[in-house]
């Protein structure tokens, strides 16, 4: 059991080191892109783009779709930016233990659907690591979901 936990911890640390490098490289770029989209959507430029599109396309269906898209962007982009900034701040933590704590806090503060996606992915990654990469990603996801649905839920209830 100790060997298993040691291997699992080493895998998690190795995974986060890789993710740090990716976050350091791409998070600032992605944040800038999302910020730019947000600014355009909330500015008179966004109004002009909407006007051009709705005028160029006859009928009213496109008008409703355009309004809905802009409203969704206005609601979602700040949430996306918040999560991206959290990722960037966590990638700046050098101690793997402190970084893991920050990641777990961030996940627990996330919406339920985000938490579920993270936990689902972690379970699949851990299964792959335990199986020494002999399981495919799809097999790992399926096993994790099967365990959750058929064993874990029954024992909790």
In a domain, 99, yes or no: no
3-state secondary structure 111-125: CHHHHHHHHHHHHHH
CB 30 within 8 A of CB 84: yes
Q: Verify that 145 and 79 share a domain, yes or no.
A: no
Q: So what's the pLDDT on residue 157?
A: 66
Q: Verify that 10 and 86 share a domain, yes or no.
A: yes
The total domain count for the chain is 2
Q: So what's the pLDDT on residue 87?
A: 79
In a domain, 68, yes or no: yes
Which residue in 157, 114, 119 sits closest to 141, CA to CA?
A: 119
CB atoms within 10 A of CB 91: 19
Q: So what's the pLDDT on residue 13?
A: 64
Q: Verify that 18 and 82 share a domain, yes or no.
A: yes
| The two structure tokens encoding residue 38 | 């947000």
Single out the residue in 46, 63, 94 at which a domain terminates.
94
Compute CA distances 14 → 9, 20, 140, whole Å: 9, 10, 19
Q: Verify that 147 and 120 share a domain, yes or no.
A: yes
pTM, entire model: 0.53
Q: Verify that 35 and 70 share a domain, yes or no.
A: yes
CB 121 within 8 A of CB 137: no
Q: So what's the pLDDT on residue 7?
A: 67
Q: Verify that 156 and 88 share a domain, yes or no.
A: no
Q: So what's the pLDDT on residue 5?
A: 59
Model confidence pLDDT, tens digit, residues 6-50: 666 666 666 666 666 676 777 777 778 888 888 888 888 888 888
In a domain, 100, yes or no: no
Average pLDDT, the chain: 81
Model confidence pLDDT, tens digit, residues 54-71: 888 888 887 888 888 888
Q: So what's the pLDDT on residue 92?
A: 83
In a domain, 102, yes or no: no
124 by Cβ neighbours in 10 Å (0-12 / 13-18 / 19+) ranks as buried
Model confidence pLDDT, tens digit, residues 91-149: 888 887 888 788 888 888 888 888 888 888 888 888 888 888 788 888 888 888 888 88
**Is the pLDDT confidence value at 4 over 70?**
no
In a domain, 54, yes or no: yes
Domain extent at residue 30: 1-94
Single out the residue in 42, 65, 94 at which a domain terminates.
94
In a domain, 24, yes or no: yes
In a domain, 36, yes or no: yes
Distance, in Å, from the CA atom of 84 to the CA atom of 60, rounded to the nearest integer, reads 35
Backbone angles phi, psi at 58, to 5 degrees: -70, 150
In a domain, 104, yes or no: no
Confidence grade of residue 1 (pLDDT, cut at 50, 70, 90): low
CB 97 within 8 A of CB 13: no
């Amino acid at each position: 059991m100790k060997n298993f936990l040691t291997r699992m911890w080493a895998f998690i640390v190795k995974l986060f080191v890789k993710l740090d490098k990716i976050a350091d490289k791409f998070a600032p770029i992605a944040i800038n892109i999302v910020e730019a989209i947000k600014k355009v959507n909330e500015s008179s430029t966004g109004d002009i783009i909407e006007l051009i599109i709705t005028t160029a396309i006859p009928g009213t269906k496109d008008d409703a779709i355009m309004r809905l898209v802009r409203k969704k962007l206005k609601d979602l982009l700040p949430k996306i930016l918040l999560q991206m900034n959290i990722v960037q701040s966590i990638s700046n933590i050098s101690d793997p233990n402190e970084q893991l704590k920050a990641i777990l806090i961030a996940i627990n503060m996330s919406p339920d659907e985000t938490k579920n996606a993270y936990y689902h992915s972690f379970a699949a990654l851990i299964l792959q690591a335990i199986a020494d990469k002999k399981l495919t990603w799809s097999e790992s996801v399926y096993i994790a979901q099967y365990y959750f649905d058929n064993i874990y839920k029954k024992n909790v209830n």
